[in-house]
């Protein structure tokens, strides 16, 4: 591990970190992501991602972060910042005194193609990064092996999505897709049924048979599942609601159905 001191907010590494936080297109173009906090950084390292540079304060490096910092892979650059500069760098209101730039390569489609009958989640144009991160975290917790994202949705590597996923984005196969119809064909060839979620379905979610390998589709928070994609599912389920509540948000609806899938597969 090589250590350097940074004291200027104009340092190129500082400026790049700030740009990665704010600019989705820049993240995609460079293949890099910005992470803050020991949990996200530890999960990224555990998943085999390569850090370009780690930012920390002297106090964190010698104190509560000693084990994490001293255990960084050989050859990693450690940039030590004054606390005030790190506070300017951080995306959270309460800076966690460690941040990093990592190289990230989207999981190859080949890695996803051999998951066999494992259940999957398809997220169609979700706009809220908090919902997106929560659904990825819930999918990992409920035993789903992969998450597919259709074009036009939130970025799973935005700061809010990363925080909401609590590192699960590095624990599950994740792929953005341009051809949803082609994806459904591939999943059916693997033996999966495709289940949509719509408020108007007469089939309540717990009456569906998820013991058969299943890919569940969660739609956009406002418009639901794209009509073309919805017309291609095998069937749809609904979640009954009581009282004056008209709908659940996407993260809550997805959690209900994913845990029903888990319950049925375990009984």
* pLDDT per residue as tens digits for the range 72-126: 888 889 999 999 999 998 877 777 889 999 999 765 344 554 456 789 999 999 9
Residues 239 and 178 in one domain: yes
Mean predicted lDDT score pLDDT of the chain: 92
Among 103, 127, 157, the domain-final residue is: 103
Domain at 259, CATH number: 3.40.1280.10
DSSP annotation string for 133-200: HHHHHHHHHTT--EEEEETTS--TTSHHHHHHHTTGGGTSEEEEES-HHHHHHHHHHTT-EEEEE-TT
Q: Which region among 111-125, 173-187, 234-248 has the lowest average model confidence (pLDDT)?
A: 111-125
Residues 165 and 223 in one domain: yes
Q: Report pTM.
A: 0.92
Domain at 39, CATH number: 3.30.1330.30
Q: What is the pLDDT of residue 110?
A: 45
pLDDT in tens, 11-59: 999 999 999 999 999 999 999 999 999 999 999 999 999 999 999 999 9
Alpha-carbon gap, residue 199 to 225, rounded angstroms: 11
Say if residue 40 is exposed, middle or buried (CB neighbours under 10 Å; 0-12, 13-18, 19+): buried
Among 103, 123, 154, the domain-final residue is: 103
pLDDT in tens, 88-103: 988 777 778 899 999 9
Alpha-carbon gap, residue 206 to 238, rounded angstroms: 9
Q: What is the pLDDT of residue 244?
A: 83
Q: Mean of the pLDDT values across residues 203-211?
A: 98
Parent domain of 114: 109-266
User: Is residue 237 within 8 Å of 201, Cβ to Cβ?
Assistant: yes
Residues 37 and 127 in one domain: no
Q: How many domains does the chain have?
A: 2
Closest CA to 155 of 182, 136, 180, 183: 136
């Amino acid at each position: 591990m090589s250590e350097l001191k940074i004291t200027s907010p104009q340092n190129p590494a500082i400026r790049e970190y700030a740009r990665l936080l704010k600019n989705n297109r820049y993240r995609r173009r460079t293949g890099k992501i910005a992470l803050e906090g020991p949990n996200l950084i530890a999960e990224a390292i555990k998943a085999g991602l390569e850090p370009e540079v780690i930012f920390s304060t002297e106090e964190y490096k010698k104190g509560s972060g000693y084990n994490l910092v001293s255990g960084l892979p050989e050859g990693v650059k450690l940039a030590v910042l004054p606390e005030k500069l790190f506070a300017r760098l951080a995306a959270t209101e309460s800076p966690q005194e460690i941040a990093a730039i990592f190289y990230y390569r989207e999981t190859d489609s080949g890695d996803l193609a051999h998951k066999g009958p494992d259940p999957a989640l398809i997220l169609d144009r979700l706009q809220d990064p908090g919902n997106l991160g929560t659904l990825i975290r819930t999918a990992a917790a409920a035993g789903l092996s992969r998450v597919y994202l259709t074009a036009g949705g939130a970025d799973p590597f935005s700061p809010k999505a990363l925080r909401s996923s609590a590192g699960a984005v590095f624990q599950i196969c994740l792929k953005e897709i341009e051809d949803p119809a082609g994806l459904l064909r591939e999943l059916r060839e693997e033996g999966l049924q495709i289940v949509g979620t719509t408020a108007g379905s007469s089939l309540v979610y717990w009456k569906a048979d998820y013991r058969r390998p299943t890919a569940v589709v969660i739609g956009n928070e406002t418009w639901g599942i794209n009509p073309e994609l919805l017309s291609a599912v095998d069937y749809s389920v609904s979640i009954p609601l009581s009282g004056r509540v008209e709908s659940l948000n996407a993260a809550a609806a997805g959690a209900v159905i994913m845990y029903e899938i888990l319950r049925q597969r375990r009984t």
